[in-house]
Structures are given as structure tokens and as C-alpha cells.
Amino acid sequence: MNVALKGEPRGLSALWRSYAGDLRGWVARLAARYGVAVALLAGGILAVFAAIAVGATALFHFIELRYGANAAFAAIGGGLLALGVILLLAGWLTMRRRAPPLPRPRRQFRAARQMLAGSTIARAVTALRENDAAKPDPTTQILLGAAAILAAGWIVATRLGSTSGRKVRR
């Protein structure tokens, strides 16, 4: 979705693309997991069919020849049957796992909030600088300077007065 809505800021479009990328990654991981599960199930089914074929051949030879090469066929058939059962169980357990949760756009919301707050504050500061009503007149500047000097003098006087007036108690 490369088409931005008319009047939509570029930042929100970038956040939407970021979230769409997160969604694509989530779908890809989910599809890969189901692909692995299907491959395990198919392998398990093939192994069970092979085990049945080998087991039938082994049973035939066992009955026919009584204890010869038959033991080898039985072992191969039993091994394939065990492998088939293990693969079927692994595929079934993989399919039963709960799907991961849908990714939430928390990161994008946080970035959008910061973008909106930053641009709002910048506009407010710019408006204050450009507005003549916010600038103090010369009389106010003189009064602010006098208040700052009085405050500094008061701090110095209280500090000097408190150290000279102390008595040492014993």
C-alpha cells in the first residue's frame, strides 16, 4: 500500500509500512511453521506405507523361510514403522501448537505519539517567538532584573548571617 491518503503526513505512512512489514513477517513465520508440519506429516505417512510394505515382505519371508534373512526384513520394517509413528506424532504436535499472537503496533503508536508531540511543541515555541505579545517590554525586563538581584542578595545575606551567628555548644 504505497498510496498515501491525501493530507496524511509522511511519518504516519512510514509507520503504516513498518506495521505492514511486521505483519508480513508474522505471516511468513506462520506459513513456514505450517509448511514444516505438512512435510513432517507427509514423511510420516510415507514411512508408514514403507513400513507396511517391508513388514509384509518380511512377514512373508519369515513364514516362508523360518529364521534367515527374514530377521533383517523385520528389523527394517519395525524401524520404518517406529520412524513413521515418531514423524506423525511430531507433525501432529506441531499442528496443535497455538499460533503466535498477532503483532501489535505498539512501537509504531509510540513513534507516532512522539512525532505528534514533538511537532506540536515545536509549533507552539515557534508561535511564541513570532508573537509580539509574548515578548516582555523594557519596564518588565528592568523589574525582572531587579527581582533577580534582590533574590541573589537575599540568598547571600542569609548564608553569611547563618554562619556568623552560630554558637558552638559543648
pLDDT in tens, 91-121: 999 989 888 888 888 888 788 777 777 777 7
pTM of the predicted structure, to 2 decimals = 0.36
- Give the percent of the chain with pLDDT over 90: 14
What is residue 164's predicted lDDT score, i.e. its pLDDT?
54
29 has pLDDT over 70: yes
Q: C-alpha grid cell for residue 166?
A: 552560630
Name the residue with higher pLDDT: 127 or 93.
93
Q: Return mean pLDDT, the chain.
A: 78
Mean pLDDT of 120-132: 71
SS3 of the chain: helix, strand, coil, percent, to 5: 80, 0, 20
Sign of CA dihedral 101, 106, 109, 115: negative
Cα–Cα dist 52/50, whole Å? 5
What is residue 141's predicted lDDT score, i.e. its pLDDT?
81
Three state DSSP letters for 17-59: HHHHHHHHHHHHHHHHHHHHHHHHHHHHHHHHHHHHHHHHHHH
37-72, pLDDT tens digit by residue? 999 999 999 998 888 888 777 666 766 666 566 667
Rg (CA), the chain: 40
Contact of 21 with 33, CB cutoff 8 Å: no
Q: C-alpha grid cell for residue 139?
A: 519596564
159 has pLDDT over 50: yes
Range name among 82-91, 110-119, 157-166 with the lowest pLDDT average? 157-166
Greatest alpha-carbon span in the chain: 121
Name the residue with higher pLDDT: 48 or 80.
48
What is residue 1's predicted lDDT score, i.e. its pLDDT?
45
